[in-house]
Chains A and B, each alone.
Chain A
Amino acid sequence: MSSGRFLDNSLKFDWVFMLVTFALMACGVTLVYTATVNEDAVFYESFWFKQIIYFVCGCVLASGIVFLKIDWLKRMAVPLYAVSLVLLCVVLFFAGDVVKGAGRWIDLGFFKLQPSEFAKIAYLITISYWLSSHPVSLRKVKTFVVPFFLFIVPFALVLKQPDLSTALVFIAVTYVGFFFAGLTLTDMFLLSSPVLSVLFSHSQTTVFQVLWGLLICAVVFALVRRRLPKALTIFFLAANILAGYASSMAWNMLEPHQQKRVNTFLNPMSDPLGDGYQVLQSLTAIGSGGLTGKGFGNGTQTNLAFLPEEHTDFIFSVLGEQFGFLGCAFILGLYVLFLWRATSTCKLYSDPFITLIVMGASTIFLFHILVNIAMTIGLMPVTGLPLPFLSYGGSFAMTCMVLVGGIICMRYQGRRQ
Chain B
Amino acid sequence: MFKATDSNYIQNRNWSVLVFMCAVLLLFAVLLLRLFSLQYTHYDENLQRSENNRIRKVELIAERGYIYDRNGIVLVRNRPSYQIALQAMNLPRKKADRDSVFRRLLRIKDKDGTPLFDSAAVDTAFQRSNWIKNRPIRFLEDASQEQVAIIEERSSELPGVITVIESRREYPYGTLASHVLGYTSEISEEQLKLPEYQNYSQGDRVGQKGLEQGYDQEFRGTNGIKLVEVNASGRELGLVKGVESQAPVPGLHLVSTIDLKLQKVAEAAIPDSAKGALVAIDPRNGEILAMVSSPRLDPNIFSLKRRERNKGWAQVALDSMRPLTNRAISGTYTPASVFKLVTAGAGLENGVLSETKYYSKPCTGGYQYGARYQKCWGTHGNLNVVHAIRLSCDVFFYQAGLDIDMARINEFGRRFGLGENPLGVDIPGEKGGWLPDSASFNAKNKRLGWRWARGLILNLSIGQGQLVTPLQQAVLVGSLATGKGVYRPHFMKELRDFNGNVVKRFEPEIIRPGNMKPETHRVLMAAMDSVVNHPGGTGKRGAVPGIRVGAKTGSGEWKKGEKTHAWYAAVAPLENPEIAVAVIMEAAGGGGAVSGPIARKVLMAYFGKEDEVKK
Question: Hey, which bits of chain A sit against chain B, CB under 8 A?
Answer: 38, 40, 132-135, 176, 179-180, 185, 272-273, 277, 280-281, 283-291, 300-301, 303-306, 320-321, 324-325, 328-329, 332, 335-336, 339-340, 343-344, 346-347, 350-352, 355, 359, 362, 366, 370, 373-374, 377, 379, 417
Complex: how many Å from CA A172 to CA B88? 42
How far is A313 from B88 in the complex, measured between Cα atoms in Å? 22
Task: Mark each residue of chain B from 84 to 96: 1 if its CB lies under 8 Å from any CB of chain A, else 0.
Answer: 0000111001010
Which residues of A sit under 8 angstroms from B30, Cβ to Cβ?
A: 379
Residues of A within 8 A of B19 (CB): 179, 185
Residue of B nearest to A281 (CB): B55
Interface residues on B, range: 35 or more
**B94: nearest residue on chain A (CB-CB)?**
A38
Q: Contact between A289 and B10 (Cβ–Cβ < 8 Å)?
A: no
Interface positions of B from 5 to 53, Cβ below 8 Å from A:
5-6, 9-10, 13-14, 16-17, 19-21, 24-25, 27-28, 30-32, 34-36, 38-40, 42-43, 45-47, 49-51
CA distance A30 to B135 in the complex (A): 29
Jot down 12 A-B pairs with beta carbons below 8 A, ordered by A: A273-B227, A286-B46, A290-B43, A306-B55, A335-B28, A346-B13, A359-B20, A366-B27, A377-B35, A379-B30, A379-B31, A379-B34
Picked from B4, B24, B49, B57, the residue with its CB within 8 Å of the CB of A277 is: B57
List residues of chain B with CB under 8 Å of any chain A CB: 1-2, 4-6, 9-10, 13-14, 16-17, 19-21, 24-25, 27-28, 30-32, 34-36, 38-40, 42-43, 45-47, 49-51, 54-55, 57, 88-90, 93, 95, 130, 133-134, 225, 227, 240, 243, 246
Q: Which of B1, B36, B95 contacts A325, CB < 8 Å?
A: B36
Given contacts A329-B32, A336-B25, A370-B27, contact A287 B38 (CB under 8 A): yes
Residue of A nearest to B90 (CB): A304
Inter-chain contact A355/B13, CB cutoff 8 Å: yes
Given contacts A179-B16, A180-B16, A343-B21, contact A350 B10 (CB under 8 A): yes
> Are the C-beta atoms of A343 and B5 separated by less than 8 Å?
no
A38 touches B17 (CB 8 A): no
A332 touches B17 (CB 8 A): no
Contact B17 A343 (CB under 8 A): yes
A328 CA / B89 CA spacing, docked (Å): 27
Once A281-B55, A417-B5 are accepted as A-B contacts, the answer to whether A324 and B39 lie under 8 Å apart by CB is yes
A135-B2, A291-B39, A377-B35 are known contacts. Are A300 and B51 too (CB-CB below 8 A)?
yes
Docked pose: A202 CA to B240 CA in angstroms: 31
CB of B429, distance to nearest CB on chain A (Å) = 33
**Cα-based distance from A45 to B505 in the complex (angstroms):** 60
Chain B residues closer than 8 Å to A300, beta-carbon distance: 50-51, 54
Contacts of B51 in A (CB 8 A): 288, 300
Please determine whether A350 and B5 come into contact, CB atoms closer than 8 angstroms.
yes
Closest CB of chain A to B340's CB: distance in Å?
A: 57
Secondary structure of the A side of the interface? helix
Residue of A nearest to B20 (CB): A343
Smallest CB gap from A356: residue in B = B13
Cross-chain contact B40 with A291 (CB below 8 angstroms): yes
A42 to chain B, nearest CB (A): 14
Alpha-carbon distance A330/B192, docked complex (angstroms): 48
Q: Compute how far the CA of A379 lies from the CA of B54 in the bound complex, rounded to whole angstroms.
A: 23
- Enumerate chain A residues within 8 angstroms of B42, measured Cβ to Cβ: 287
Residues on B with beta carbons closer than 8 Å to the beta carbon of A288: 43, 46-47, 49-51
- Inter-chain CA distance A346–B89, complex, in Å, is 50
**B50 neighbours in A (Cβ, 8 Å):** 284-285, 287-288, 300-301, 321
Tell me whether B32 and A332 are in contact (CB under 8 A): yes
Q: Which residue of A lies closest to B15 (CB)?
A: A185
Q: Name the A residues within 8 Å of B45 (CB-CB).
A: 287
- Complex CA gap A417/B2 in Å reads 14
**A335 and B225 alpha carbons, distance in the complex (Å):** 40
Closest 5 CB pairs between A and B? Answer: A287-B46, A288-B50, A287-B38, A325-B39, A288-B47
A287 touches B55 (CB 8 A): no
Please state if A40 and B95 are interface contacts (CB–CB under 8 Å).
Answer: yes
Whole-angstrom distance between the Cβ of B96 and the nearest chain A Cβ: 12
Closest to A293 in B: B39
Shortest Cβ gap from A254 to chain B (Å): 22
